[in-house]
Amino acid sequence: MQQNTLQRGLGHNIMAFDKYFRIYLKNSLKDHDLNAAEGMVLLSLLENGRKTEAEIFNNIHTAESEITQDQLVQELHYDKSVMTRTMQSLEGKGYVIRSVNPKDSRSFIFNLTETGLEFNEVLMTIMIKWNAAVLDGFTPEEINSMNDMLARLAQNAKAAGSRERK
């Protein structure tokens, strides 16, 4: 009985944290005409050091720091249809550029435009404020420990999810 309570509590807390983060992100990005999904994609692209539009044309056949839509789906755990709409929207708003994947002409690779790169400062400010709010009262040791445990939890969840699909 104790274990079931713990499992429900842990799952509930993780879902609540995710929900409130998405609400915070949505509200923070509203003035920039972006939604939470677009913000998450931009964060992912910025964190992974994606290339600018100018760099794409200089290195068109190297895909080292480029990302496909399928890779973003896997990284962010969105449905393919949500990711398609999100990428089309970001492209239309001038944040990303899409080009044919030289390794697989059936897919596209995405890179940040200069506008996308310049938005980094706004996103980092949003994330700094979020982290300060949610980590208020935690010691650096507690934060490190929590981060380690959550990383292990995510790894275990990924492994468990992979086993269930087979």
pLDDT tens readout for residues 114-148: 999 999 999 999 999 999 999 999 999 999 999 99
Looking at residues 12-41, what average pLDDT do you find?
A: 94
C-beta separation of 81 from 75 below 8 A: no
pLDDT tens readout for residues 86-111: 999 999 999 999 998 888 888 888 98
Please tell me the predicted confidence (pLDDT) of residue 93: 96
Q: CA-CA distance, 79 to 61, in Å (whole number)?
A: 28
In the numeric block, the tokens 């789906």 are attached to: 73
* Half-sphere exposure in the Cβ direction for 106 (13 Å, CA): 1
Query: Is the full-model pTM beyond 0.85?
Result: no
Q: CA-CA distance, 108 to 106, in Å (whole number)?
A: 7
Q: What is the percentage of the chain residues whose pLDDT exceeds 90?
A: 52
